[in-house]
Amino acid sequence: MAVYTEVDSETLATFLTEYAIGDLVSCKGIAEGVENSNFLIHTSAGVFILTIYEKRVRPEDLPFFLALLDHLADKGTACPRPIHGRDGQALRHLMGKPAAIVSFLEGVSVRRPKPEHCAEVGRAMAKLHLNGASFGQRRRNDLSVEGWKTLAQACQPLADGVRPGLAKFILDEITFLEGRWPTRLPVGTIHADLFPDNVFFIGDRVSGLIDFYFACTDTLAYDLAIGLNAWCFELDHAFNVTKARQLLAAYREVRPLSPDELAALPLLARGAALRFLLTRLYDWLHQVEGALVRPKDPLEYSAKLRFHQAVQSPAAYGLS
Amino acid sequence: MAVYTEVDSETLATFLTEYAIGDLVSCKGIAEGVENSNFLIHTSAGVFILTIYEKRVRPEDLPFFLALLDHLADKGTACPRPIHGRDGQALRHLMGKPAAIVSFLEGVSVRRPKPEHCAEVGRAMAKLHLNGASFGQRRRNDLSVEGWKTLAQACQPLADGVRPGLAKFILDEITFLEGRWPTRLPVGTIHADLFPDNVFFIGDRVSGLIDFYFACTDTLAYDLAIGLNAWCFELDHAFNVTKARQLLAAYREVRPLSPDELAALPLLARGAALRFLLTRLYDWLHQVEGALVRPKDPLEYSAKLRFHQAVQSPAAYGLS
């Protein structure tokens, strides 16, 4: 959410000559994205986003992300389309770091989604899953069960300082999920971070999905479980079943869910809540002095996790 | 250089209904400007900059700044033009703070100005002075001699921690300048902060001047002295007389300088260097824990001040 690497206009103008997208007209560092440096640039040919990749993204994953965006854009997904240089390469280097330019997407994210927005997101996610089915590359989800254990260990000594009992709460949940985590549900390319920040709307219609830097190959219904956590709770952490019903119904109109997928939703939703609890807790406990990013409250996701723990059947999510 | 106040898209869309500039299509927080929150917004009618004014700008000064931009834009200056609401008001409120929307200017600032850029800036500044002559409002320069004394007092106890002897160096300079500061040179509306950050170029041509939040009524040649400090030193603080010659010659082609103005340049340049030494030193010594802005090195301006102190005549600036 900040600009970590500054690039001067002379360097940028030279960098742009590697592409066939016209001359530099304007460049503004923008507050957007997961700890990368992002710039909104105007050239004589159009509007683009330049991303300089910082530490959070592993360079070896970048070819996967960019190929995925190429694939999805070709299939008609409203996602950023990588701009390839004159030599055909989309992944380049700027200021000594990996960098890429993608097409600019109009639209704004909503802070307080309405049920209509949730339906739109469900539809967009289902289309994303269908469009991703023919993508040939795979990437392991680092933030699934094994990754949770690593994060939990790193947080263990200090977790109770955030809330007494939190360390045991997390370990118990990992133990519970580890033995039951579904392995036979339909798998494909998932976004894995489709939060309101990452979905643009024009009016009440989805105009774009962004920030694919957690995308991976995993259980499709797990993406939906992340969506339930991200879109269907109110600011006071109360679950809004109307929003969940809308999100799930719209998804199922595009991509029907099997009985096994439906049955697994409560468990997947617990796992999704735990994943964000853990990454937020880790960031909370490992704040860098002077960092430009204010970490998000991890306990929001402990409240959500408690909700899913109490769920008796998928009907709690508004499924009929 | 950061976004201090966040505004959600629902609130912003409602705010835009106060104007006749179409519907919200996109909004990005941008890293630009002096400690205000700035957003690049696309509407169905065009591209604009939204500024939410933060603590550094005094609310009572905002009508002056916006009226000045209106006046200058009417006169043909390439500066942001305030967008007036349906009720005629340009100065409005958003998120409980003063806010304004202005037109967007294409162009990029240069990190390493070339002599041609300096000539362009000289020309643009002279035109600004001519265009400002018919502006009816006045604003006192808070950062002239009296302001320096206040800042120097606030920095006095800690200045020597930045560099031994700095406190006395500053006091001696204030004493020297105070008795000699020119009061009879031509006065008008000056930008007072026309640094490379605040000048946009397309190619080698000035396309826009921004950030008028230090603009005030003061000695016109003092603006030129600020320009010499801002544009005509290299990164190692060496003075580049070629750049100074270009800047001054281009200025004088548009607005001739009187013999008194020419003679006063070395003194004015000392004052300008002291002004930026003091504000940077103050910011350096009063860093807010967790602030998003990294303060600039004050000693850059002590080096520049030493240069001007050694100047024997205006000829040192390339004047023939």
Residue A1 has pLDDT above 50, yes or no: no
Tokens of A141: 């989800």
- Gap between the Cα atoms of B34 and A225, Å rounded: 42
Helices in A28-107 by DSSP H: which ranges?
A: 62-74
Question: Counting Cβ atoms within 10 Å, is residue B147 exposed (0-12), middle (13-18) or buried (19+)?
Answer: middle
* pLDDT (tens digit per residue) in A38-72: 999 999 999 999 999 988 789 999 999 999 999 99
Q: Which of A29, A112, A200 is the closest to B30 by Cβ?
A: A29
- Gap between the Cα atoms of A176 and A196, Å rounded: 29
- Gap between the Cα atoms of B268 and B291, Å rounded: 33
Candidates B8, B11, B16, B26, partner chain A, best to mutate (most A CBs within 10 A): B26
Helices vs strands, H then E, count in chain A: 9, 9
H/E stretch holding B189: strand B187-190
- Percent of chain B exceeding pLDDT 70 equals 96
What architecture is domain B9-103? 2-Layer Sandwich (3.30)
Q: What is the pLDDT of residue A184?
A: 95
Q: Which residues of A touch B292 (CB under 8 A)?
A: 2, 292
Which residues pair with residue A46 across a beta bridge? A43
**Contact between residue B108 and residue B201 where contact means Cβ atoms under 8 Å apart:** yes
Are the beta carbons of A28 and B25 separated by less than 8 Å? no
Closest CA to A310 of A173, A107, A137: A173
Q: Please name the fold of domain B115-317.
A: Aminoglycoside 3'-phosphotransferase; Chain: A, domain 2 (3.90.1200)
Which residues pair with residue B50 across a beta bridge? B39, B101
Q: What is the pLDDT of residue B229?
A: 98
Tokens of A176: 């519970």
Positive or negative, the Cα torsion across B20, B21, B24, B30? negative
Domain with CATH 3.30.200.20 in chain A: 9-103
Closest CA to A7 of A116, A95, A121, A111: A95
Please state, as a whole number, how many other Cβ atoms lie within 10 Å of the Cβ of residue A275: 26
* pLDDT (tens digit per residue) in B206-235: 999 999 999 999 999 999 999 999 999 999
Are the beta carbons of A31 and B107 separated by less than 8 Å? no
Question: Counting Cβ atoms within 10 Å, is residue B61 exposed (0-12), middle (13-18) or buried (19+)?
Answer: middle
Chain B closest-CA separation from residue A36 CA (Å): 14
- Percent of chain B exceeding pLDDT 90 equals 89
- Gap between the Cα atoms of A243 and A231, Å rounded: 7
Q: Which residues of B touch A292 (CB under 8 A)?
A: 2, 292
Residue of A nearest to B293 (CA): A292
Q: Which residues of B touch A31 (CB under 8 A)?
A: 2-3, 28-31
Q: Which of B30, B106, B109 is the closest to A25 by Cβ?
A: B106
Question: Counting Cβ atoms within 10 Å, is residue A311 exposed (0-12), middle (13-18) or buried (19+)?
Answer: middle
Contact partners, residue A180, CB within 8 Å, separation at least 6 = A267
Closest CA to A34 of A276, A228, A210, A226: A210
Which residues pair with residue A200 across a beta bridge? A208
Which residues pair with residue B140 across a beta bridge? none
Q: Which residues of B touch A106 (CB under 8 A)?
A: 25-26, 42
Q: Which one has a higher pLDDT value, A178 or B6?
A: A178
Over range A76-102, report the average pLDDT.
Answer: 97
**Placement of tokens 């997947």 in the chain:** A268
Whether B202 has its CB under 8 Å from any CB of chain A: the answer is yes
Are the beta carbons of A12 and B108 separated by less than 8 Å? yes
Return the minimum-mean-pLDDT range out of A3-12, B120-129, B140-149, B248-257. Answer: A3-12
Q: What is the pLDDT of residue B286?
A: 85
Q: Which of B28, B108, B111 is the closest to A32 by Cβ?
A: B28
Tokens of B49: 């900059």
Where do the DSSP E strands lie in chain A?
24-30, 37-43, 46-52, 92-94, 97-103, 187-190, 199-202, 205-209, 216-219
Tokens of A143: 């933030």
**Placement of tokens 């002075």 in the chain:** B129
**Contact between residue A218 and residue A129 where contact means Cβ atoms under 8 Å apart:** no
Q: What is the dihedral of CA B83, B85, B89, B93, to 10 degrees?
A: -100
Are the beta carbons of B31 and A26 separated by less than 8 Å? no
Over range A185-197, report the average pLDDT.
Answer: 97
Helices vs strands, H then E, count in chain B: 9, 9
- Gap between the Cα atoms of B5 and B8, Å rounded: 10
Are the beta carbons of B106 and A30 separated by less than 8 Å? no
DSSP code, position A81 = P
H/E stretch holding B291: none
Tokens of B233: 């030193």
- Gap between the Cα atoms of B129 and B133, Å rounded: 6
- Gap between the Cα atoms of B50 and B12, Å rounded: 10
∠ Cα A140 A144 A149 (to 5°):
125
Residue B294 has pLDDT above 80, yes or no: no
What values do phi and psi take at A132, rounded to 5? -75, -15
**Contact between residue B227 and residue B247 where contact means Cβ atoms under 8 Å apart:** yes
Closest CA to B41 of B6, B16, B60, B78: B16
Q: Which residues of B touch A112 (CB under 8 A)?
A: 8, 10
- Gap between the Cα atoms of B49 and B44, Å rounded: 14
Q: Indicate the SS3 state at residue A178.
A: helix
Q: pLDDT-derived band of residue A31, with 50, 70 and 90 as boundaries?
A: confident
* Residue A78 one-letter amino acid: A
Are the beta carbons of A40 and B30 separated by less than 8 Å? yes
Domain with CATH 3.90.1200.10 in chain B: 115-317
Q: Indicate the SS3 state at residue A90.
A: coil
Tokens of B95: 């998120």
Whether B235 has its CB under 8 Å from any CB of chain A: the answer is no
CA atoms lying within 13 Å on the CB side of residue B175: 6
* Residue B265 one-letter amino acid: L
Residue of B nearest to A205 (CA): B25
Contact partners, residue A149, CB within 8 Å, separation at least 6 = A174, A178
- Percent of chain A exceeding pLDDT 70 equals 96
What values do phi and psi take at B317, rounded to 5? -95, 15
Farthest CA pair distance, chain A: 60
Tokens of A24: 């530099």
Taking only residues 63 to 122 of chain B, the set having a beta carbon closer than 8 angstroms to any beta carbon of chain A reads: 106-112
Whether B2 has its CB under 8 Å from any CB of chain A: the answer is yes
Q: Indicate the SS3 state at residue B268.
A: helix
Candidates A23, A30, A114, partner chain B, best to mutate (most B CBs within 10 A): A30
* pLDDT (tens digit per residue) in A221-276: 999 999 999 999 999 999 999 999 999 999 999 999 999 999 999 999 999 999 99
- Gap between the Cα atoms of B75 and A154, Å rounded: 62
Q: Which one has a higher pLDDT value, B44 or B34?
A: B44
DSSP code, position A287 = P
Chain B closest-CA separation from residue A29 CA (Å): 5
